[in-house]
Amino acid sequence: MKKNADKTNVMRLLEQKKIAYSAHFYDTVEAVSGTAVAEMIGIDPKRVYKTLVTVGASRQNYVFVVPVEHELDLKKAAKAVGEKSIAMIKSKELLPLTGYVHGGCSPIGMKKPFVTTIDISASNHDTIVFSAGKIGYQVEIALDELRKIIKFNLFDIVV
């Protein structure tokens, strides 16, 4: 655990709503792969998820949360949100759109709410782990607790 680890906005939001979570920390200043994060925090990578931001053919943005060992299936993702097609947003668009940097994007606390879909595999776990909104910070939370702060659907969205 990091010494003097500050709380992120995600952690503060969870605490304001009295939502149970656990925090995990790892030492790095730059984005690393999700599987590397899982290894650094000592959690099975099947329970560690990454947050991806996309744009649909309608120009609406969507958030997808998928296991770090998998890739988002763009066709399944489009079907999940009723779009003709889905594309990843450009990295430079992430910060102005969400308030988060690449490697520190969380489905909680974005600048505005987006339609969010979590891969159905999350329902196989008591808790899942994802970014707490800052590189080096992760939160572990049960889906029932997560529903108290964001709306999301579960759908098969990985390759």
Question: Is 104 inside any structural domain?
Answer: yes
Q: How confident is the model at residue 6 (pLDDT cuts 50, 70, 90)?
A: confident
Find the domain containing 101 and state its range: 9-155
Q: How confident is the model at residue 50 (pLDDT cuts 50, 70, 90)?
A: very high
> Is the CB of residue 119 less than 8 Å from the CB of residue 48?
no
What whole-number distance in Å separates Cα of residue 107 and Cα of residue 50? Answer: 9
Burial of residue 126, with CB atoms counted within 10 A of its CB: 0-12 exposed, 13-18 middle, 19 or more buried: exposed
DSSP 8-state symbol, 158? B
Number of domains in the chain: 1
Question: Is 2 inside any structural domain?
Answer: no
Out of 30-34, 79-83, 128-132, least confident range: 30-34
